[in-house]
Structure 1
Amino acid sequence: MSGLPDVLARLAATIEARKGADASASYTAQLLADPTRAAKKLGEEAVETVIAIALADSDAIAAESADLIYHWLVALAASGVSLDAVAAKLEAREGTSGLAEKASRAT
């Protein structure tokens, strides 16, 4: 994973810095000001990532994954959910079988 954690940390910090910025000058600020729009963009990027994976297009998978991660981070920030909160959920699931974890959820 080499530099991914560092890149994610810088990107998350940039997104945080855009909170309250002039929406006419920043796409990120526009999304942060409208969590519903941020969510829609996240969904759009998820679909584009799935299509790239289905087509086995490595370059498109990487590009769409980058878009997906950016929009995911923006949607989290727009919703007031921290990366620490996400990390806590992941840490709580460590060592648990995916099947067991899914079965433990109320449906």
Structure 2
Amino acid sequence: LEERKSAQAEESYVAGLYAKGLNKILEKVGEEANETILAAKDHQGSEETKNQVIHETADLWFHTLVMLSYMDLKPEQVLEELEKRFNISGIAEQASRQT
């Protein structure tokens, strides 16, 4: 994704998103989140609906990675935060955010 920042918008979907700015990227994240929710809601246990949930989740994760990259954040930073959360109980983690 970092390499795409300097690519021509006409040559790369990601470069096109970067060129349109953060609001467009956030719009895509929201759109993909909604599509993921709808796919999950419609999931009936069939291979088709499982694949739809996987497809939409991949789109959501991809556009979230684009957002992070646009803001010069690394996926590793998010993974570090998740690791911190898994090292303490959920109740303790929530309490730490309230203070």
TM-score by length of 2: 0.83
The reply to whether residue 78 of structure 1 matches residue 65 of structure 2 is no
CA displacement at 1:43 relative to structure 2? 1.0
Deviation at 1:89, TM superposition (A): 1.2
Q: Does 1:26 align with 2:21?
A: no
**Correspondence 1:36 to 2:23:** yes
Structure 2 equivalent of residue 7 of structure 1: none
Aligned-pair CA distance for 1:31: 1.5
Whole-angstrom CA distance in 2 between matches of 1:92 and 1:59 = 31
Aligned-pair identity in percent equals: 41
Tell me how far 1:84 sits from its aligned partner. Answer: 2.0
Match of 2:53 in 1: 61
Q: In the aligned structure 1, how far is the partner of 2:91 from the partner of 2:85?
A: 11
Q: Give the superposition deviation at 1:39.
A: 1.1
- Normalising to structure 1: TM-score of the pair? 0.78
State how far apart, in whole Å, the 1-side matches of 2:91 and 2:30 are.
25
What corresponds to 1:5 in structure 2?
none
CA distance in 2, matches of 1:64, 1:85: 23
> Secondary structure of the residue that 1:105 maps to in structure 2?
helix
1:31/1:78 contact within 8 Å kept: no
The 4+ residue runs of structure 1 with deviation greater than 4 A are none
1:62-101 Cα deviation digits (max 9, x unpaired): 1101111110110110111111211221222222122321
Larger radius of gyration: 2
